[in-house]
Amino acid sequence: MSSRGSGLVVKCCLVAFAVASALFVSWPAISWSFRKGIKQGTGIAPSCGPCVCDCPPPLSLLSVAPGLVNLSITDCGKHDTDLNKEMEKQFVDLLTEELQLQETVAQEHTRHMNLTFIEARRLASEYQKEAEKCNAATEACEEAREQAEASLIKEEKKVTALWERRARQLGWQGE
């Protein structure tokens, strides 16, 4: 069977499964409405007695949680000594304390920045020393290369002169 044929079989199976699932889920509602239609068509009216409901009244928020209705709870924080001390402080004292805290934070921040700056300067100094070493080594290499180049040129001239002399000895006339 080709892949196209197997794909068609799979699609048909999925469609059949979907239809069967829909019927399974909706069958109780369909059968109920079908039975109701048959009863109404025969003239038999459903006999249903009057409903007698003896249910208790629903619970109110006041009976469940009386504290939630009154949102201005006067007892809140009465037994917390730390909170009482904070609430008794004068406004000026609170501002003074806030300023002291801000000053402490600023000093800590400044100390951290100074340490970071010192560390950055130390690292910059180390990098500068390494760069100077690298530059000195590069200059030494460059001098050695120039000397090697000059020596090579000198040797090439000697070899050229030697070959020219041998060629003249063998009868070369030159240009």
pLDDT digits (tens, 9 = 90+) for 86-121: 777 777 788 888 999 999 999 999 999 999 999 999
Q: What is the pLDDT of residue 65?
A: 63
Q: How far is CA 81 from the centre of its chain?
A: 42
More confident residue, 50 or 131: 131
Phi and psi, residue 88, nearest 5°: -80, -20
Are 46 and 39 a contacting pair, CB within 8 Å?
A: yes
Residue 148 pLDDT > 90, yes or no?
yes
More confident residue, 20 or 46: 20
CA distance 145 to 139: 10
Domains of the chain, residue spans: 96-175
> Quick check: pTM over 0.75?
no
CB-facing half-sphere around the CA of 72: CA atoms within 13 A? 0
pLDDT digits (tens, 9 = 90+) for 28-82: 878 877 777 666 655 445 556 666 677 776 666 666 666 655 555 566 666 777 7
Angle 7-10-13 from CA coordinates, rounded to 5°: 150
Spatial CA neighbour of 67 closest among 79, 59, 75, 77 = 75
Residue 169 pLDDT > 70, yes or no?
yes
Angle 82-83-86 from CA coordinates, rounded to 5°: 90
